[in-house]
Amino acid sequence: MHTTEGSKFRFFHHGDFSGDIDIADKTTGEMILSVPCDDLKALVAAWVRGEKISKLEDADDDAILLG
């Protein structure tokens, strides 16, 4: 298992992010919940998608054409 530290939570996961991610409160050490990695990936992908759409909508012609 791997551990990733957030500001308030600690995440325990497989190196390839398969299976579930266990989430613990860093202050209390209490295990909060276990979430399928694919569900978290869907949430983060929705955020990234929105950010990319916003940047594309705000980009000028040169930025679109030249990347």
- pLDDT at position 15 is 96
Residue 67 binned pLDDT confidence (cut-offs 50, 70, 90)? confident
Cα(56)–Cα(44) distance, integer angstroms? 18
Residue 18 is predicted with a pLDDT of 95
Q: What is the pLDDT of residues 2-21, one digit of tens each?
A: 999 999 999 999 999 999 99
pLDDT for the residue 52: 96
Residue pLDDT, tens place only, 16-47: 999 999 999 999 999 999 999 999 999 999 99
* DSSP label at residue 4: E
Strands (E), the chain: 2-5, 9-13, 20-25, 31-36
